[in-house]
């Protein structure tokens, strides 16, 4: 019978904790017109570390990716709802490859270069598939 006070206390506690009152978020309204075009850059910068159990070695890998994205307003309804199209018009990537002898590999879709280096070729193949999409 000693624990009989727990249930009423829990009920009172639950009733006293109300969700905080929320206010409606502000609605953002843009005056978009069909045919307008906007550019923005999206940058992802990643620093990773992984521990290798054999030899107690720490492997570091750094990479950066910069995408220039073009947003075009396709059409705007009478209610102000816009259909937009986006495509990547430029991609720059750089990565420090942790494998011995590999070093840093880089790719820029605006100035592609030929390379016999396998990691660089893979990066170029990946990047070329994204640009224009």
Q: What pLDDT is stored for residue 50 in this prediction?
A: 76
Confidence of residue 41 (pLDDT cuts 50, 70, 90): very high
DSSP assigned state of 99: S
Tracing tokens 């640009």 back to the chain, one arrives at 131
The encoded tokens of residue 68 equal: 């220039």
pLDDT in tens, 6-27: 666 566 666 666 655 556 677 7
Q: What pLDDT is stored for residue 1 in this prediction?
A: 47
pLDDT in tens, 96-125: 877 666 677 888 888 767 666 666 666 666
Is the Cα torsion angle 2, 4, 7, 8 positive or negative in sign?
negative
Q: What pLDDT is stored for residue 117 in this prediction?
A: 66
Domain limits, the chain:
36-130
Q: What pLDDT is stored for residue 114 in this prediction?
A: 67
């Amino acid at each position: 019978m000693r624990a009989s006070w727990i249930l009423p206390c829990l009920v009172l506690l639950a009733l006293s904790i109300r969700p905080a009152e929320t206010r409606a978020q502000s609605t953002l309204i843009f005056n978009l017109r069909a045919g307008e075009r906007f550019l923005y850059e999206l940058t992802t910068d990643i620093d990773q570390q992984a521990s290798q159990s054999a030899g107690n070695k720490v492997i570091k890998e750094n990479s950066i990716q910069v995408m220039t994205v073009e947003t075009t307003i396709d059409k705007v309804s009478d209610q102000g709802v816009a259909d937009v199209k986006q495509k990547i018009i430029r991609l720059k990537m750089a990565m420090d490859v942790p494998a011995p002898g590999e070093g840093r590999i880089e790719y820029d879709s605006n100035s592609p270069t030929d390379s016999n280096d396998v990691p660089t070729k893979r990066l170029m193949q990946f990047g070329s598939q994204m640009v224009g999409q």
